[in-house]
A and B are shown apart, each in its own frame.
Chain A
Amino acid sequence: MSIAKQAAANRRNARRSSGPRSSVGKQRVSHNARRHGLSIRITADRTFGEQIEQLAREIAGGTQNELRLECARAVAAAELDLARVRQAKVALIERVMATGALDLADSEVPRQVLQSRTLAREVQAQEPAMPSAEPSRSAEAIRRALPALVKFDRYEQSARARRDRAVRQLGIVEALSIST
């Protein structure tokens, strides 16, 4: 195949797979990267800056030792990250308790099914009504939210691992400052 033909074929293929064309579709995919925002580190969010600093100073115990402060900041950031993931998990369960469903995009429904509006409606309709009484309602909400909760769990594990590592480092720095 000549280069020109290949380029034309590439253009044709690209036109077929260049994402949604309707305004609703474009609006929807514009939020893909920040559906829950948990992949963005808390340190990148300026609103948490003050909170991290305050907690870090408390952890460092009023020291001016910059190394110790830096370790304390890492502990504080990871701890607040962990709290953020936990909040998201609870918010997710409550959303399912209220509406009876996850967003279809969060579910385990295959992509091909999601792309068909009729099929997507059918999938949603297949879910029976949420129980009205507790504890059945919470249990059912957890059951329906479980696939997304498992995903959130990975963020939680990552935040926890970062925090534990930072605590170990802080311990080493504290040991060094005691021995000198």
Chain B
Amino acid sequence: MSERRTALFPRPRLLMTESREEFDQVRNNLEREIQPRGIIEQMYVQDMAYIDWEIRRLRRCKDTTISVAFRAGLERVLKRLLWRPGETQFSSNKEIEDLALRWFTDPKAKKEVSELLGKFQLDESAIEAEAIRESSHFLERLDKMLRSLEARRDRALALGIEYRVNLAHQLRESAERMTQEPTMLRLETNAGKKSA
């Protein structure tokens, strides 16, 4: 994209925690793929780059939300499994919370949790399911926004292509007309001579 044209479009504002270089990289990659011709196509490429950036932002948010919910999910699963009369070897919530915290860093704690889950024929996916269940309302709304953004990105691409195809079609028709016009003129002149 020429510098002048870039300056005409407003520079997209990013979150202060996001990298401008990475955004430019996304846009440059799209430009390399699509090879926009003209300012309208440039506009759609810029649009697609920004939508793509928003999709990445929301996906990052989704992953982080699940990760954050993981510890709380693990605590809940442990409480549910252990709070049965006669089966618990934990004396308080504090111990469960401690085990859940250690699970992230301590292989022993991880093994302990795995064995415990195994007793109930469960595995770590039970923790993940609990984490997702807890944030399901938010994740559902996030997914809806993601689907909408993906549809917009596809539409921007389709409209950019439509604009290019229409313009190319018009230019081809116009070029054909221009090449045919002298022949028609010659034919008309020859016909006039013969009739005379």
Whether chain B is bound by chain A comes out as yes
Per-position 1/0 for A166-180, Cβ under 8 A of B? 010011001100110
Report whether A175 and B61 are in contact in the complex, using a CB–CB cutoff of 8 Å.
Answer: no
From A2-10, A11-19, A21-29, A142-150, the one touching the partner chain is: A142-150
Q: Which residues of B contact A75 (CB under 8 A)?
A: 40, 43
Give the one of A82, A93, A135 with max B CB within 10 A. A135
Q: How large is the interface on B (under 10, 10 to 19, 20 to 34, 35 or more residues)?
A: 35 or more
Complex partner residue of A139 from B47, B64, B171, CB under 8 angstroms: B64
Report whether A170 and B60 are in contact in the complex, using a CB–CB cutoff of 8 Å.
Answer: no
Q: Tell me if A87 is interfacial: C-beta within 8 Å of chain B.
A: yes
A75 to B40, CA, bound (A): 9
Q: Which residue of A lies closest to B148 (CB)?
A: A153
Q: Name the prevailing secondary structure of the B interface residues.
A: helix
Q: Tell me if A58 is interfacial: C-beta within 8 Å of chain B.
A: yes
Give the one of B10, B166, B171 with max A CB within 10 A. B10
A138 to B65, CA, bound (A): 10
Total A-B pairs in contact (CB under 8 Å)?
91
Q: Which residues of A contact B152 (CB under 8 A)?
A: 160
Report whether B40 and A142 are in contact in the complex, using a CB–CB cutoff of 8 Å.
Answer: no
A residues engaging B (CB < 8 A)? 54-55, 58-59, 61, 75, 79-80, 82-83, 86-87, 90-91, 93-94, 97, 131, 134-140, 142-143, 146, 149-150, 153, 160, 164, 167, 170-171, 174-175, 178-179
B residues engaging A (CB < 8 A)? 5, 8-10, 12-17, 39-40, 43, 47, 50, 57-58, 60-61, 64-65, 68, 138, 141-142, 145, 148, 152, 155, 159, 163, 166-167, 170-171, 173-174, 177
